[in-house]
Amino acid sequence: MDGQDEEFLTLLRESPRPEFVRQLAARLDLIDAPRTMQAPSRSRWFLGAWPHWTPAFKPLALASGLVVAAMVLFTMSWLSPTTQVSASEILAKAEQATSPSTLHSYHGTLIERARGTLLGSFTQTQQERWFQAPDSYRTDVHARTSDGREDTMSMVTDGVTFWNYQSQTGQVTLMDSRMVRAGANPAAFGAADLQTLLREASRDVYKASLVGNEQVAGRAAYVVDVTPKPGAAVPSNAAHLKLRIDQATFFPLGSEVWDNHDNLLDSQVFTSIELNSSLDPTLFAFSPPPGAQVLDAHPATGEKLAQLWRQAAQQAPYTIFMPTDIPAKIVPGKPSYDNARRVITQSYIPPERNQLWVKLILLEGSPSVLQGGDGGQIVQVGALSARYVDNDGMRTLTLDRDGTRILLQTSGALSKDDLVQVAQSLQPVSTTP
């Protein structure tokens, strides 16, 4: 090392960061090494010119050299390989990030594109969502109808009562919150909430892969592709998932879901998100607009239930049938008649609030309105023949009786024998007490 090198190193040693100085000296080739015939290094060119710099410019030159060196160090450290989080770790962290102990609240806006029935065209909606742990949420949906009119819908629950308002019909339906899926998270796709979905995605039947990074709602996000393993049995309506997970908080910022034929069914992406902020409690208490029709769909029992069935029988242009023997694991909701569709609907829910939502849906109508009478397995319901179909856990029993088509549908909570039990107990409803 010559005198010019020594002078330069003396100046460097005055730096308050000795570790930086050591790395800088090494990268500028100021450490003695066996000399070989080679082109002059950048450090030799710099040091060779050092004696010709005037005293006024030497500090500036030194500072410039330090800045350039720092930029080199930063670039090299950025390009250096780092430990990358795995897809399974991302899903586990996302599940923890959406747990009630971690996620106290959120407020965000998002865009959803969802297909209609039978793989129809996509409908795009703009939504604003609020969530307050443990089970209060609100979603305001804005969409445009096929004739260009704006349609809005609000879904609100305080954890006890659920309100659903649709501006197009002017109706507000209120019901027990157990009868709807928890809406605390951006995408459920067949699960009660996003945590259930994330647990499903982490099961052995799926393979999770980290496929990239994207900017979502102004935040860096992991892109995790979740596909079924060869030969694995997965729900037909959630055979392939793609999730976008915030890299900082692991909150899910977007999702896409495909069926088992690789048809995209639904996509959601947040455009803004604010986590764990203070929310106004009045957001989760809904007041029906003036003139709105209020439909009470809370569960009913005893004489109240029988009265509601009679009212439905008075409206329906066909004979309707009421179940008189149902499994102990469910309790009946209020039956209702939809005059527009001419269909009777009754939901059955679990007796305990800490269980999942609707366990069984009973539909009654004319065969021209209700589909589902073809295919499946023939089962006997008393003297009548019914058809039973099990489509990836979605079980349906279809029975035609006295010109009325009856559908019993369960998402796996009830067995085939349970459905047959309910069907066998059906009794015609009189229009008078």
* Domains (range + CATH), the chain: 3-79 (no CATH), 87-284 (2.50.20.10), 299-428 (3.30.200.100)
Q: Tens of pLDDT along 220-230?
A: 999 999 888 88
**pLDDT for residue 283:** 95
pTM higher than 0.85: no
**Full DSSP string of 222-284:** EEEEEEEPTT----GGGSEEEEEEETTT--EEEEEEE-TT--EEEEEEEEEEEES----GGGG
Residue 278 structure tokens:
């203070």
Distance from C-alpha of 405 to C-alpha of 316, rounded to nearest angstrom: 13
Residue 349 structure tokens:
């829910």
Q: Which of 128, 173, 138, 164 is nearest to 284 (CA)?
A: 138
Q: Tens of pLDDT along 6-34?
A: 544 444 444 444 444 444 344 334 333 33
Residue 320, judged by CB atoms within 10 A of its CB (0-12, 13-18, 19+), counts as buried
**pLDDT for residue 215:** 97
Q: What share of the chain is helix, strand, coil (3-state, %, to 5)?
A: 25, 35, 40
**pLDDT for residue 56:** 42
Residues of the chain with pLDDT under 50: 1, 3-5, 7-82, 182-192, 354, 356
Residue with tokens 């892969």: 209
Residue 37, judged by CB atoms within 10 A of its CB (0-12, 13-18, 19+), counts as exposed
Residue 290, judged by CB atoms within 10 A of its CB (0-12, 13-18, 19+), counts as exposed
Distance from C-alpha of 46 to C-alpha of 51, rounded to nearest angstrom: 10
Contact of 251 with 245, CB cutoff 8 Å: yes
**Full DSSP string of 158-202:** -SSEEEEEETTTTEEEEEEGGGS---SSS--TTSSSHHHHHHHHT
**pLDDT for residue 199:** 66
